Structure 1
Amino acid sequence: MLSTTISKAIALTLAAVGLLLQVESAAAQGYPERTVRLIVPFAAGGGVGVFGQQLVAHLGPELGQEIVLEYLPGSGGMIGAAAVAQAAPDGYTLLLSTAGPIEVSPVTYENVPFDPIEDFEHITRLGSVPYILVAHKKLGVKTLEEFIELAKKQPGALSYGSSGSGTINFLAAELLKIRAGIDLVHIPYQGNGPQMVDLVAGRLDVSMLVPNAITQYVDDGTLIPLATTGSERSSNYPDVPTFKELGVDVEVSSWYGISAPRGTDPKIIAALDETSRKLMQGDSLPAELKGLGIDADVSASPEEFEKDIAAQLALWAQVMKQAGIEKIK
């Protein structure tokens, strides 16, 4: 009798679960049925926000629903990312994810309010921006080889700038130090503005900067581009070789993508991935992004996107350990 009762209870539970899955599946097939929020984890007006504006102008019409940007800045992007990690996994709260809060902050900060892998479904990487190592003309170097040779002759004498110890261009420079076997002095700044002032004035020797930040000073000869961290040459600087071309194993990019809370229906993830991929295979959005200095860089699949993130997290953790860098508290 007891066995029969338990069997009936199990059958009822399975039926309820099956019904719930059918309802969720039906909802996913009609996705999206209302406005979608895309959380931007940085302040309005910055590069990430501008990328978001370009993206939703194309993605919304393709999905047939309005997508609104909601800015939740703070703590290097972690506040916005945490809000999405804790949101309902229904596809109506998404994250405009970037390398900063997803790959860099989790290894550079002591307290991070989310797990960058376990708490998200990373859907599609859409574009990336490489860094370019530039040297002030006073150094007298024209190539990466000349710079490394100079740095080895003067260990600890040359300086590099960054936007702070919790940023990707800081880690990229530390990776260069390790892979090239050179010693540079780190000068942290509160943002790129003050860093550019000192670099252009010659008070700073080198920096890792995004292409759009250096155009004016490369054109007038103040800064000399030595190498790019991208997997391929930058479309903005096709004559500048990659580090890997030059035999130095440094490959780093700041990327932009779409992520959702863990547990989001696979059909919703597939719909977003397919639509985003379609946009990036067209002409309009990639051309607009190129004007912002962003190269089209679409991940092969959500699974590959997540693997890439996991690999980069492991690399930055290794750099932190090898360089003896303490986490920010």
Structure 2
Amino acid sequence: MTIQLQRRAVLAAIALVATTAGTSFPTIAADFPDRPLRLVVPYPAGGGADTLGRVLAKQLSESLKQAVVVENVIGAAGTMAASSVARARGDGYTLMLSNTATHAIAPALYPQLPYDPVKDFVPLVHIASFGNAIAVHPSLPVHNVKELIAWSKKTSNGGSYGSWGIGSAGHLAMEMLQGESGTKMLHIPYKGALLALNDTIAGQLPLTMVDVTTITPFYKTGKVRVIAVTGSKRAPSMPDVPTLTEQGITFDTDSWYAVFAPPQTPRPVQEKLRAALAKLVVDQEIQKTLASLGLNPSTLNVDEFAVMQRKDVATWARLAKLSGAKLE
């Protein structure tokens, strides 16, 4: 083959690749989805994340005209689910409803974390922000953070509190509060927020830090007293409960829920999913549902959320160092 013919062959191949690249992605996006999607939720059925996941799955299914199946993958504080999604095929059919624990806190706790929460995922939408609540048994003579600090300082061994695990957002926030207030309560980790809350309701544990989604129905029935929420805003389901910052303890870092996909998901598929999910976030009925769960609907676009996530990774690393928490 002459040099000129070789050159023509190369140029023809390049043109073919360019043509294929220019048409295959739109074709993929046009055909997507042609089978059910999987929404991985990293926590057990019945909890706050599961409740939100099932609401999103139902609405997303209606929007995409395709079934969206919720799959609860539990273990290692949600990192098992995140690891499986990071390794999943990037075709748009595997999504993850994630939160601060798996995608901001985990790097500070697990020295051998098998995924990078930023590099190994594609953010699709920021769903909502929320705080976590300090709930006390109604018999405890504590109605605000000032009284909690006073109670701890006069109680033998400082008292105790529960959370949904070592290194959880609740644990780290309570350790920060104690660092600022000079208190030292015994931390009792549980395998789930609801388990810790049940012991507080039963009077076996004086107080617990629990996510607002889990606590809201118990708060409304008066089974526990909520004295404060973390984060930058009050929970819409508990508008009369002030934040920690309002009570003199500076802590305005929010927890959040977001939907991620594996990193190799084609961009046109990403955009189709983003468009569908973005519509859900601004839907009035969805916003009512989020508010009823104690969540503040997102006001961030995906780029703004990506910036916030990176900032939160650094913030929670600092708090984890303060608490001394570390997991294997």
**Structure 2: gaps of 5 or more residues:** none
**Closer, same or farther in 2 for the Cα pair 1:48/1:139, shift >3 Å?**
closer
d(CA) in 2 for partners of 1:88, 1:23: 21
1:25 alignment partner AA: F
Larger mean CA deviation between 110-119 and 46-55 belongs to 46-55
Deviations 1:267-308 (A, max 9, x none): 3323322222222212222223444x1424225122222222
> Which residue does 1:118 correspond to in 2?
119
> Which residue does 1:262 correspond to in 2?
263
d(CA) in 2 for partners of 1:87, 1:5: 43
TM-score by length of 1: 0.85
2:85 alignment partner AA: V
1:205 alignment partner AA: P
2:114 alignment partner AA: P
8 Å Cα contact 1:134/1:226 also seen in 2: yes
- Distance apart, 1:223 and its partner CA: 3.8
> Which residue does 1:304 correspond to in 2?
304
Q: In the alignment, is residue 32 of structure 1 matched against residue 1 of structure 2?
A: no
**Equivalent position SS for 1:122:** strand
2:315 alignment partner AA: L
1:111 alignment partner AA: Q
8 Å Cα contact 1:155/1:182 also seen in 2: no
| Identity among equivalent pairs (%) | 31
> Which residue does 2:163 correspond to in 1?
162
8 Å Cα contact 2:163/2:187 also seen in 1: yes
**Equivalent position SS for 2:158:** coil
- Distance apart, 1:119 and its partner CA: 0.2
d(CA) in 2 for partners of 1:314, 1:308: 10
> Which residue does 1:200 correspond to in 2?
201
Q: In the alignment, is residue 127 of structure 1 matched against residue 105 of structure 2?
A: no
- Distance apart, 1:159 and its partner CA: 1.8
8 Å Cα contact 1:155/1:183 also seen in 2: no
- Distance apart, 1:137 and its partner CA: 4.5
d(CA) in 1 for partners of 2:198, 2:69: 36
> Which residue does 2:146 correspond to in 1?
145
Larger mean CA deviation between 119-128 and 101-110 belongs to 101-110
Deviations 1:38-76 (A, max 9, x none): 222334444323322211211122223332333333222
d(CA) in 1 for partners of 2:9, 2:153: 74
- Distance apart, 1:231 and its partner CA: 1.9
- Distance apart, 1:209 and its partner CA: 1.8
> Which residue does 2:183 correspond to in 1?
182
> Which residue does 1:278 correspond to in 2?
279
Deviations 1:119-169 (A, max 9, x none): 001111213442111234454232222323444566951322112204221
**Equivalent position SS for 1:30:** helix
**Closer, same or farther in 2 for the Cα pair 1:2/1:252, shift >3 Å?**
farther
Q: In the alignment, is residue 79 of structure 1 matched against residue 80 of structure 2?
A: yes
Q: In the alignment, is residue 328 of structure 1 matched against residue 327 of structure 2?
A: yes
> Which residue does 2:319 correspond to in 1?
319
**Closer, same or farther in 2 for the Cα pair 1:256/1:215, shift >3 Å?**
closer
**Closer, same or farther in 2 for the Cα pair 1:236/1:81, shift >3 Å?**
same
Larger mean CA deviation between 306-315 and 186-195 belongs to 186-195
**Equivalent position SS for 2:191:** coil
> Which residue does 1:97 correspond to in 2?
98
Q: In the alignment, is residue 288 of structure 1 matched against residue 280 of structure 2?
A: no
> Which residue does 2:71 correspond to in 1?
70
- Distance apart, 1:86 and its partner CA: 1.4
Matched positions, count: 327
8 Å Cα contact 2:39/2:96 also seen in 1: yes
d(CA) in 1 for partners of 2:315, 2:122: 21
- Distance apart, 1:239 and its partner CA: 0.8
d(CA) in 2 for partners of 1:314, 1:2: 59
Q: CA RMSD in A?
A: 3.1
Larger mean CA deviation between 119-128 and 254-263 belongs to 254-263
> Which residue does 2:50 correspond to in 1?
49
- Distance apart, 1:16 and its partner CA: 5.1
**Closer, same or farther in 2 for the Cα pair 1:299/1:116, shift >3 Å?**
farther
8 Å Cα contact 1:31/1:268 also seen in 2: no
1:63 alignment partner AA: L
8 Å Cα contact 1:131/1:252 also seen in 2: no
1:72 alignment partner AA: V
**Closer, same or farther in 2 for the Cα pair 1:31/1:52, shift >3 Å?**
farther
TM-score by length of 2: 0.85
- Distance apart, 1:222 and its partner CA: 6.3
Q: In the alignment, is residue 240 of structure 1 matched against residue 241 of structure 2?
A: yes
- Distance apart, 1:243 and its partner CA: 1.5
- Distance apart, 1:237 and its partner CA: 1.0
- Distance apart, 1:200 and its partner CA: 3.4
d(CA) in 1 for partners of 2:98, 2:238: 25
